[in-house]
Amino acid sequence: MAPPALSPLMQWRRIEALVGAWLEQRQQLIVLLCALQGLKGFDDARPRPVQSQVREFCQLLMDYISAGYFEVYRELVREARRYRDTPTPEVASHILRQLDLSTEEALAFNEDFDSDDHCLVQLEQLPERLTRLTEVLEERFALEDQLILSVHQAPRRHALRH
């Protein structure tokens, strides 16, 4: 037997909690990114602290990207389809296609810096790569915010009416 359907308000609150936790993860990612950008002396003499922080950042970056794709975006698209009173399914699809570009950049960064050995080989390029990744993530965060606002607000209005 299928579980009872959640009310619109309960569905909205569930997705709101999911989005909130994901945005907290984003905040942690930004803090780590800023800490990495603030590090000086990317050289072979003191690579261990840098490597450790880069590895931690890569792990959080992959967790964040994965949670977006496999949890948050999926729920937002489902929500958009449920409440078709606005053009949100089309908006969501358009935004998701744009997010693919930044996903590729994040995956490439992770591949290049996810281990001590990789990081050591690429250490000289780290500042430049961090700058590029920061720009890409800024665009990504803006798109994700647009997705949340365009998709998640119409159901909120509907849920609060019921």
Per-position DSSP letters for the chain, written without gaps between them: -PPPPPPHHHHHHHHHHHHHHHHHHHHHHHHHHHHHHH----STTSHHHHHHHHHHHHHHHHHHHHHIIIIIHHHHHHHHHH-TTSSHHHHHHHHHHHHHHHHHHHHHHHHHHSSHHHHHHHGGGHHHHHHHHHHHHHHHHHHHHHHHHHHHHHHHHHHHH-
Give 43 or 31, the one with higher predicted confidence: 31
User: Does the pTM exceed 0.75?
Assistant: yes
CATH superfamily of 9-161: Regulator of RNA polymerase sigma(70) subunit, domain 4 (1.20.120.1370)
Is the pLDDT at 18 greater than 90, yes or no? yes
| pLDDT tens digits, one per residue of 39-82 | 765 555 555 678 889 999 999 999 999 999 999 999 988 887 77
Is the pLDDT at 146 greater than 70, yes or no? yes
Mean pLDDT within 36-41: 75
